[in-house]
Amino acid sequence: MTTLKNDRFLRALLKQDVDVTPVWMMRQAGRYLPEYREVRAQAGDFMSLCQNPELACEVTLQPLRRYALDAAILFSDILTIPDAMGCGLYFAQGEGPRFMKPVQTPGDVEALEVINAEKDLGYVLDAVRLIRKELNGSVPLIGFSGSPWTVATYMVEGGSSKEFAIIKSMMMNTPTVMHELLEKLALSVIDYLNAQIDAGVQAVQIFDTWGGALSAHAYREFSLAYMNKIVAGLNREKDGQKIPVILFTKNGGHWLEAIVESGCDCIGLDWTLPINEARARVGDRVSLQGNMDPAVLYGDASAIRREVGLILEQFGHGNGHVFNLGHGIHQHVNPDHVTAFVDAVHELSAQYHA
């Protein structure tokens, strides 16, 4: 189906036969790797690293040099879109992301313009083209975006939040304004992901990190509805190859039946719902990605192997499983433990694909 040397990841997303279960990790290019920290220090701040295609390419490739991962993921951030919209993204020392101009009033929302990715986020597309060239067909490259709801939480709160007081007030008291913001973000995400696909990414993932902070009905109205719109607006094929779409709502396990309806190819799972239960609920309609607790990587090699074996056994025989963590890898994990993890997935999964 492709000229890739290793196409397990794309095949599993589309529920096709594979020899072993493919594996990658959210945030696999990141702070747990000493070589990443070195490049990061060289770049200066985090956004300078994202905005430098050569350095972004370098850190994207780093984990692939260490581990037998079945996919690369573009090194970037979910907040490049609001940054391109003029919200003034910065990272305060030792804190999370912050915005100089939070979006909190009807006027703030009205003033925002839908981005043009080619013009506004050319540095990301340059990075995609460079990474594809450097990967040279070894494994596929994943592009990504935050979901409109998740990106909006940072824009409205002005940074990270625990209780989402400001955005939930907006949602309750001025739902029309909230929808206007989400609509502009959805259109921006469609343009951004289609530009990433044009530039060469071979699958895309939408990270809905904070959809799970909503009630079931609020999730449908304020998060899922906009992901549905995005899935419908994406170019799902390029050069005769299907571009699979993964939706990942952390803490969204109660809503799998609704998420399936989006038309996505794959649902990402956190580790609270056993993958066999998820599979029973979605049937053959989508593939599943997940779902090991990232904290298992604090365990020794035998503990990691035991947990990998358990999840593979839960999924059982058949196609449609991409192994991953249920959230990004933690920064204090010992890099050697990742070797044990990746190798365990490949070694222990062969029996389920015989």
Residues 331-350 interacting with a copy of itself (rule: CB under 8 A) = 332
Residue pair 26/341 in contact (Cβ under 8 Å)? The answer is no
Q: Is 37 a catalytic residue?
A: no
Binding piece for a copy of itself, criterion CB under 8 A, among 12-20, 110-118, 120-128, 168-176:
168-176
Distances (CA, A) of 179 to 182, 197, 225, 258, 262: 5, 26, 10, 20, 18
What is the pairing mode between strands 266-268 and 245-249? parallel
- Determine if 214 is a binding residue for a copy of itself (CB under 8 A): yes
Q: Is the Cβ of residue 68 or residue 310 nearer to a copy of itself in the bound state?
A: 310
Pick between residue 9 and residue 219 the one whose CB is nearest to a copy of itself.
219
Known active-site residue 40: yes
Phi, psi of 325 (to 5 degrees): -80, 165
95 binds a copy of itself (CB under 8 A): no
Q: Is 140 in the site for a copy of itself (CB under 8 A)?
A: no
Nearer to a copy of itself, 5 or 306 (CB): 306
- Shortest CA distance to 328 belongs to which of 276, 259, 252, 250? 250
- 165 touches a copy of itself by CB under 8 A: yes
For residue 220, indicate whether it is catalytic: no
258-291: b (≥16 Cβ within 10 Å) or e: ebbebebbbbbbbbebbbeebbeebeebbbbbbb
In angstroms, how far apart are the furthest CA atoms of the chain?
A: 59
CB-wise, 14 or 218, nearer to a copy of itself?
Answer: 218
Residues with catalytic function: 27, 31, 40, 77, 154
Binding site for a copy of itself (CB under 8 A): 163-165, 168-169, 172-173, 212, 214-218, 251, 253-254, 271-274, 277, 293-296, 298-300, 303, 310, 330, 332
